[in-house]
Each structure stands twice: as structure tokens, then as C-alpha cells.
Structure 1
């Protein structure tokens, strides 16, 4: 199997990510898995058709602006720097230092809220989500936000390692910090690190040959990582639903990847109606505990048609937003 850099162009990422989201949205629950909502909304509704138009608009704009930028870069004969220079030890160390400062701030905030015993007990009993809730009780953007520098640590770690660039001390620190951030704050840290690291590696390599077996094994390994992180945060919740380690991990993927599509269909169906969050949860059957459902949903609720356009433009900048 060959993976080429053009497959990671922004407009292709939009197609890929929304295809994945659609698949998980349409995947049946078999009356067993948790999907995050009960009944899928109709794709033949105004919302379903409107979402298709919005995604197509985002794809067209992204394709246009990407090629404009590409042509300008080619006219200047800009040559990409070697990966060792682009992802230097110095830059790597800076991101690690920033992440360390952010994590120290996180630990201090949590220790102040419930003490060290609260942190240890939450992790040991599979209730790590309690840590995130405690951190956001009196949250303000600042030093504590530096923990998200862990994403860049993960990107450096993966891209450099795949390219044969190794530094044991920096790599070990980056791995620990990414996992700590995922455990204490956001599992998206891991997915962003994986995707970003792979993208950077392929960008410099232009083309990568990988066997189907390696793809399968890598997919299983990544799934197990997310399942472990999910189990550490939601063990009690999935145990009550009668789901185990594997089924709980898969259900979490269904819920977090499928509900944004459901929320987006509802948002576009209700443009200009001034709907409330309660109405949204009632109409979409999305679980009330799932609060980050869709960029379309949030921006449309605030700005109606303008929000829809704004979301499409934001997808051009960051196509991984749903």
C-alpha cells in the first residue's frame, strides 16, 4: 500500500474526515453499542442536504485556496528544508518545556481542588473524567493551557522517529507528556499527535510504502491505546451499560465521531429558529452528557446562516473540525 503526500492535502482531508464521521454515524448499534444518540436524522431533510452543500462549499474553497498558495510557492522556487532541520532538537525541547510547565499547572490546579489522593483515586477507579471536570470548575486561559503543547511534542516524536531521527531523552519526555495530557485532559491530544506526526512525515517523504499487515496492526494498536484511555476515564459508566473494554472503546468512537454529524444535520435544519441546547438534545436524541457535538451546531446557534458560512470557512483552515 502506498500513501502519498497529495492524499493529505486539505481538501482531501475534508473528504476523508467527513467520510469517517458519516460511516460512524450510519453504523448500526445492534442494540448493544452506545452511539451517543438513539435515532439518526434523515439525510433527505433540509439539514442533510444543507450539510452536503456546506461540506461541498468547504471542499471547493479549500481546493481553490490550496492551489493558489501552491502556485505562489512554486513561483518563488521555495525548497523544503530537511526534516532534521525543520524538526530540530531545539524546537522539540521548547515544546517539551512548554508542555511541562502546562502540566505542572494542571497538577497544581487539581491538587488544590482535591489533593493528590483525589488525582490518584480518580485514575485508579477509572473516573479520570472527574479530573477534567475539577480542572474546569474555575478555569481560565493561561499557563494551564500550555498543556496542549503536548500535541506538538507528539507530532515531533512520531515524525522524527519514522524518519529515523532519535533522541532518547526528548522522545521519552514527549511520550510521557502526551499520555499525561491525554489522561488528565483530552484524548484528542493523542489523535492530533498521530495525525499530525504522520502528515509531517509523509509531507517530507512524499511517498510511503507500507504493508497491509502493518496498517492492520497499527490500527489495532491505536484502538487499544484509545480503549485504555477511555477505560481509565469511563470505566464505571460503561460497566453500568454492560459493556467491556473492547466494546466500550468502540462505543466511545461511535459516540464521539457519529454525534457531530447528527448535530450538524439538526443545526442546518433549524437555521434561524433560535433553538436551545435542550431542544437540540430532545430532537436529535444526542445524550446530554455529550456537549461538544458539532462546530456547525455551535456556530449556527449563534449566527444562523452566517454561522454556516463561517463553519465552512473554518473547515478550510482546519478540516479536522467537525
Structure 2
């Protein structure tokens, strides 16, 4: 097992400010290979599940509808998030390859945070899609046109990119004269900021503002959509109609819980960090980037009849 990248190499990193070292999971280094088993399994399932789901949506004409276009966006985002973090994390667990350049660290940080915000925007779009489908079914195709869907996707991407650029520009200009060991499996923003030997108040305040602004605003829009959906569903005549209408939202609600619940838990851990062991925080943060990408294809595959039937026939080697 290579030893040149162990934590004792932090002194050599001090002579080269462009080189950092990822610690992995502090305190659990001896268990890295065992910990890699569930993470590798989830990562493999996430890749297979999302690639299969994306292929099915692209190749099946009956799935070329707004709901599935948004699902395809979510699938691409999950692939980006999981592949941004897991290859490097597994290389630490398996081969002790801890070294990472500062530029690569910034790139990883940019993709992780930006695409999380894109995912949040897509979840809002999916809530809007369910709102239109249930509350204005006769106008569904006229409201959610292909051009509007493309615009929504571009706006979600542009919002995430431009709101993150100032944070990364400021971070790239900070001096790092302390230890170059990042106490994490990947380049988590606050873990890197803690290594700077300068005033980082801008990063702290701006980072908190971005999280509250994007996540808070998106959750408000999602909540408003579901309040209107609930009112419409409850106004339907029969219980069967109510159940059928609400059932179309179950997959999306599961996706919302899987995306936002870890964010809330991580924020609580940051606030009360002294009460939680560092390895618990790092495990949860890493778990977040691989568990939802693994579960989303399963949830949508099971709960969406059209996708379930198509995937079943695909693996049986049949065609429509």
C-alpha cells in the first residue's frame, strides 16, 4: 500500500501550497477498507440504476413527457454528484491515495455545491410539474412545453453556478500557511476554510446566506405547491380519485426527503459539532452523496408503472 501520501506528508505539503491531503475518516483509518464495502456497493448501484433510468427515458417515446424530462435531469445530477466524490474517496480507502491538488480541490468543491443547488432547483420544478398535472390537468401540455422545460433547467444551472463563483474566487485567494491536511473524505468547503490563515468571515457569512437563500426559498416553493395540490386532491369526489392523484406525488416526496433531510441533519451537526464525533459527521456527509443517487432510481422504478414495465422488459431482452 503506498505510503507517500500518508498524513505525515503534511509537512512536505507545507512547502507546496498547491498540494493538500485528505485524511479520509479520522479515527477510523484502520477500518477504511471495511467502510469502503458499503460505499462501493452503493456507488455501483447508483451508477447502474441512474444509467439504466436515463437510457430508458431517452429510448422510450412514451416517456418523452415533462415529468420524465425532469427525472432525467435529476438522474444526470445524481451521476455528477456521486462520481465527483466517490472515486477519490474509494482511492483513499483502498490505496491510501490522499494527495489532491488545490485546483482539483476547488473543482470538486464547485461541482458538489453547484450541482446540489441544481438538484434543489429541479426538485422545485418537479413540484411545479405535479401542481400543474393535478390542479390544471387540461392545460398541462400547453403550460409545460419543451421550451419552458429547457429554460427551467438552464435557470437552475445558471443560478447554482453564478451564486457559487464568488465563494470559490475568494477561497482561491486565501493563504494556506497552516496544516494542509483536510479532515474529510473530500474537499468539503468548511473543512478547507478552517485551514486558511486569514479572515474567512466572508466565506462563513456568504456560505450560510447561499444555503439559507437557495434551500429555504426552494422549500417554500415546494411547500406552496403541495399545499395547493393537497387542496385539489381533497376536493376530488371519491377516495379512489384522491389516492390516484396523490400517488403520482409519492416518488417526488421521497426524493425531497432523501435530498433535504441529510442537509438539515448536517446543519444541526455543524451547529452542535462538539456533541457529535467527527467521524460520524464525515460518514453522514459522504453518505449523502451516494445514498440518494442510489435510491432515486429504485423509488421511481418501483413507484412509476411506465418505468417499471420498461425496465422489466429491458432486462428480459424484449422490446416494445
Please give the TM-score of this superposition, normalised by the length of structure 2: 0.27
TM-score normalized with structure 1 length: 0.27
